[in-house]
Structure 1
Amino acid sequence: MIRFTRLAVIAAIFAGFTFAQTEAFAQNKSTRIGLVDMAKVFENYQRFKDEREALKDELKKRETEIKALAEQIKAAGEELKNSPYGKDSPQYAAQEKKVIELNGLIKSKQATIQREFLRRESTMYKDIYVEVTQMVGAAAEHYGYTMVIRFKAEDVAAQDDPQKLIQNMSQLVIYHQETDDITQRVIEVLNKRYRPVAGR
Structure 2
Amino acid sequence: MKRLTLLTLCLGFIVSLTANVSTTQAQQPGADQPKRNVGLIDMATLFKDYRKFSDMRDQLRNDIKASDEKAKSMSEQLQALQKTLKDGTYTEGTPEYQKLESQLISQSTQFEAFRKTQQRDFLRRESKIYKDVYMEVVAAVGQYASYYNYDVIIRFSRDGVDETDNAQELIQNMNRQVIWHNSKIDITDAVLKYLNQKYGPATAEAPGNPVK
Band the TM-score falls in, shorter-chain normalisation: 0.7 to 0.9
Query: How far apart, CA to CA, are the structure 2 residues paired with 1:144 and 1:160?
Result: 39
* Alignment-derived partner of residue 86 in structure 1: 91
Displacement after TM superposition at 1:144 (Å): 2.6
Displacement after TM superposition at 1:160 (Å): 1.1
**Count of paired positions:** 169
Displacement after TM superposition at 1:31 (Å): 4.1
The equivalent position to 1:67 in structure 2, one of 62, 72, 84, is 72
* Alignment-derived partner of residue 110 in structure 1: 115
* Alignment-derived partner of residue 46 in structure 1: 51
* Bigger share in helix: 1
Aligned-pair identity (%)? 38
Displacement after TM superposition at 1:85 (Å): 3.1
Displacement after TM superposition at 1:154 (Å): 0.5
Query: How far apart, CA to CA, are the structure 1 residues paired with 2:63 and 2:90?
Result: 42
Query: How far apart, CA to CA, are the structure 1 residues paired with 2:77 and 2:135?
Result: 44
Q: Kindly indicate whether the alpha-carbon contact (under 8 Å) linking 1:37 and 1:151 is maintained by their aligned counterparts in 2.
A: yes
Structure 1 residues 50-106: Cα deviation after superposition (integer angstroms, max 9, x where no partner): 110011111111112111111111111111112333323232222122112211111
Displacement after TM superposition at 1:186 (Å): 0.9
TM-score, with normalisation over the residues of structure 2? 0.75
Moved over 6 A (4+): none
Say if 2:92 is the partner of 1:77: no
Which moves more between the two structures, 185-194 or 152-161?
A: 152-161
Query: How far apart, CA to CA, are the structure 1 residues paired with 2:97 and 2:125?
Result: 42
Structure 1 unaligned residues grouped into runs of 5+: 1-28
TM-score, with normalisation over the residues of structure 1? 0.79
Query: How far apart, CA to CA, are the structure 2 residues paired with 1:74 and 1:83?
Result: 15
Q: CA RMSD in A?
A: 1.7
Query: How far apart, CA to CA, are the structure 1 residues paired with 2:89 and 2:58?
Result: 48
* Alignment-derived partner of residue 19 in structure 1: none
Say if 2:106 is the partner of 1:101: yes
Aligned 1:112-131 pairs, distance under 5 A = 112-131=117-136
Q: Kindly indicate whether the alpha-carbon contact (under 8 Å) linking 1:46 and 1:194 is maintained by their aligned counterparts in 2.
A: yes
SS at match of 1:149: strand
Larger radius of gyration: 2
SS at match of 2:137: helix
Structure 2 unaligned residues grouped into runs of 5+: 1-33, 203-212
